[in-house]
Structure 1
Amino acid sequence: MSNNDDWQSKLTEEEFRVTRQAGTERPFTGILLNEARSGEYLCKCCGAVLFEASTKFDAGCGWPSFYDQTDSENVGFREDVSHGMHRTEIYCKQCNAHLGHVFPDGPEPTGQRYCVNSVSLTFESDDKEIVKG
């Protein structure tokens, strides 16, 4: 998909606001925050595999958090200086969807905390149940 009209027809208003307009969902509201089953987290917009459940941890920040990405071809980084802060945005390299931000305060082995908007993800459990954030 290439334009906003296409994305607006595919996504809910909140999914569009977060993934296409770099919004943020309210903390502690995402359906995937407390998901604890094994499986994969995919981009809500294009289905690219982003994170493995085995790298998810409870950061206490209110958003699903991971200490590593699954495939460096699918998660990109760019500087974000919005809202008077200096952060590193993470986005889907396949469709340019905004995912959240990464911070250098995560657990080992990477020390990274990928703080992801639940609404930007789809979870596929190992038993193939699909849960849309």
Structure 2
Amino acid sequence: MVNLSQNMLNSNIRNLTSKEKQLLAFLMFMLTEIKENETPAKVDFFGIEADISINEREIHYQDFVENGFVQQDFTDILATFVSATSKIVTLRSESSICSMCIFSNHGYSEADKKIFFKFNNSFLCEIERNSFRKKK
């Protein structure tokens, strides 16, 4: 387990690409949508179909790496989340695991149909609500 200082964490978040920030926010959102040990959720995220599951406090998201949506070193940056529901999970790809805490919250703006995400009370990104969805 890798312990990262708050400054290092803030720096890593700033260095993420726009798409990686969107995926980070998306995963935060999914934590509030998927129950632990539930059947993996099929999701469509900007045209990439993937299965996301939470098992033993891990989110599996390798499909996004395999589809080239995020850089491989994205998996070295992301890790343990404290979600809006205070659930702690670890993001894991096949190649690497690391851990750090992200205190996240999100809000929904009815006026413009966007979900916005904050990281340590700093704006992270906003995403059109229909950009991602759980598939039936």
- Structure whose residues are more often helix by fraction: 2
Fold match by TM threshold 0.5 = no
Higher RCO, 1 vs 2 (CA within 8 Å, ≥6 residues apart)? 1
TM-score by length of 2: 0.31
